[in-house]
């Protein structure tokens, strides 16, 4: 729906037109932000975007892309000693979790957003969330992390480490012995051993994970935060936007507006589809006006498409009348450079 492009356009406009020191963070696996900004690569560290017009405004634009494994590694290094960090990095369960486990990306996105906010270097942080309902995982990360840390299975896995470092299989409680045998049958003894070692190694860090995630969640609810929904004028996309808007309202998150992207507008709005088709039919009967006939029929189709898009968009605006909405006209080509981002930014910022 153009979400990554919209995020980059907003960040660029904030830097060029409003003189703000801005960083845009993408956690979208599509990796299109670098292309949109004309950069060859993005990584886990903010990189300044060169060649933009900030001489008059004094702003800056930096861009980065979340590397969830590097972020997880950085958290481990920051909150443990080198020996413990090496033990964690060598654990097979950590190696899998930090790279591929579902939800790790959202946890690490919360960590990275919290880090950027805590540094106090930025006037504006723009976060390009995952597509569609995956973005809800970003909001759910603190609560799901707390449920995981407070879960019965985790407490059982931590029990051996907290009882003097004995092997989990030598724990003498009958309930845990029965539990471990059942879990071994399901996931295998080696994986369970790796998991137990991973949990024990990270035990001292879990409280910090939860505390930082909850702090970031409070930042998302703060008055200084603004959520923007981006949707194309298509039924499924607008339905997703409405679902997300309802969820934001439930979570008391500050929803600032909705960007309806890739909207079609006829060049001659005063000429309706019916009149255009009627004129095309008359000229076709006369003959010799094939080019004009084609243009009139194309115009009629565009008018009909624009009407359908307006009807689809109305489903959102009627359900959420208090949410400001702005439309961005469909561009003749994909936006892949700074000039294209300026065009989108200007459209979004129209009063």
The 3 state secondary structure assigned to the chain is CCHHHHHHHHHHHHHHHHCCEEEEEECCCCCCHHHHCCCCCCCCCCEECCCCCCCCCCCEEEEEECCHHHHHHHHHHHHCCHHHHHHHHHCHHHHHHHHHCCCHHHHHHHHHHHHHHHHCCCCEEEEECCCCCHHHHHHHHHHHHHHHHCCHHHHHHHHHHHCCCCCHHHCCCHHHHHHHHHHHHHHCHHHHHHHHHHHHHHHHHHHHHHHHHHHHHHHHHCCCCCEEEEECCCHHHHHHHHHHHHHHHHCCCCEEEEEEEEECCCCCCCCCHHHHHHHHHHHHHHCCCHHHHHHHHHHHHHHHHHHHHHHHHHHHHHHCCCCCEEEEECCCCCCCCHHHHHHHHHHHCCC
Least confident of 44-58, 134-148, 303-317, 319-333: 134-148
With pLDDT > 70 as the criterion, what percentage of the chain qualifies?
A: 74
pLDDT over 70 (residue 193)? no
Give the residue with greater pLDDT, 191 vs 13: 13
Among 12-21, 158-167, 226-235, the range scoring the smallest mean pLDDT is 158-167
Least confident range from 62-71, 174-183, 271-280, 325-334: namely: 174-183
Q: Tens of pLDDT along 120-133?
A: 999 999 998 876 55
The pLDDT, as a whole number, for residue 162 is: 47
Give 53-101 pLDDT, tens digit per residue: 998 899 999 998 888 788 888 878 887 788 888 887 887 777 776 776 5
Q: The pTM is what? A: 0.79
Domain boundaries, the chain: 3-159+183-225
State yes or no: pLDDT of 10 exceeds 70.
yes
**Per-residue pLDDT at 84:** 80
At 200, the pLDDT band (50, 70, 90 cuts) reads low
pLDDT given for residue 29 in this prediction: 55
Average pLDDT over residues 250-260: 91
pLDDT at position 71 is: 83
Check residues 218 and 192 and name the one with the higher pLDDT. Answer: 218
């Amino acid at each position: 729906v153009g979400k990554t492009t919209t995020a980059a356009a907003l960040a660029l406009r904030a830097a060029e037109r409003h003189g703000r020191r801005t960083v845009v963070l993408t956690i979208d696996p599509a990796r299109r932000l670098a292309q949109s900004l004309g950069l060859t690569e993005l990584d886990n560290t903010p990189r300044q975007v060169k060649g933009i017009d900030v001489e008059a405004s004094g702003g800056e634009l930096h861009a980065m892309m979340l590397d969830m494994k590097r972020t997880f590694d950085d958290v481990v290094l920051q909150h443990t000693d080198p020996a413990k960090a090496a033990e964690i990095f060598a654990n097979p369960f950590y190696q899998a979790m930090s790279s591929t486990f579902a939800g790790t990306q959202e946890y690490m996105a919360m960590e990275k957003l919290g880090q950027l906010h805590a540094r106090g270097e930025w006037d504006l942080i723009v976060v390009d969330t995952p597509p569609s309902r995956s973005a809800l995982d970003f909001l759910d990360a603190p609560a799901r992390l707390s449920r995981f840390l407070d879960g019965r299975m985790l407490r059982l896995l931590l029990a051996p480490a907290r009882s003097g470092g004995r092997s989990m299989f030598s724990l003498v409680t009958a309930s845990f012995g029965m539990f471990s045998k059942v879990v071994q049958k399901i996931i295998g003894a080696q994986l369970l051993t790796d998991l137990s070692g991973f949990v024990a190694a990270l035990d001292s860090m879990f409280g910090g994970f939860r505390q930082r995630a909850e702090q970031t969640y409070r930042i998302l609810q703060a008055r200084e935060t603004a959520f923007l929904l981006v949707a194309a004028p298509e039924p499924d996309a607008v339905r997703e936007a409405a679902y997300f808007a309802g969820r934001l309202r439930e979570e008391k998150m500050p929803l600032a507006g909705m960007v309806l992207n890739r909207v079609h507008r006829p060049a001659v709005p005063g000429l309706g589809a019916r009149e255009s088709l009627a004129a095309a039919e008359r000229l076709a009967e006369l003959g010799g006006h094939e080019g004009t006939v084609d243009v009139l029929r194309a115009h009629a189709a565009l008018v009909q498409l624009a009407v359908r898009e307006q009807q689809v968009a109305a489903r959102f605006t009627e359900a959420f009348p208090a949410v400001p909405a702005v439309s961005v006209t469909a561009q003749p080509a994909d936006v892949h450079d700074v000039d294209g981002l300026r065009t989108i930014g200007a459209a979004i910022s129209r009063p």
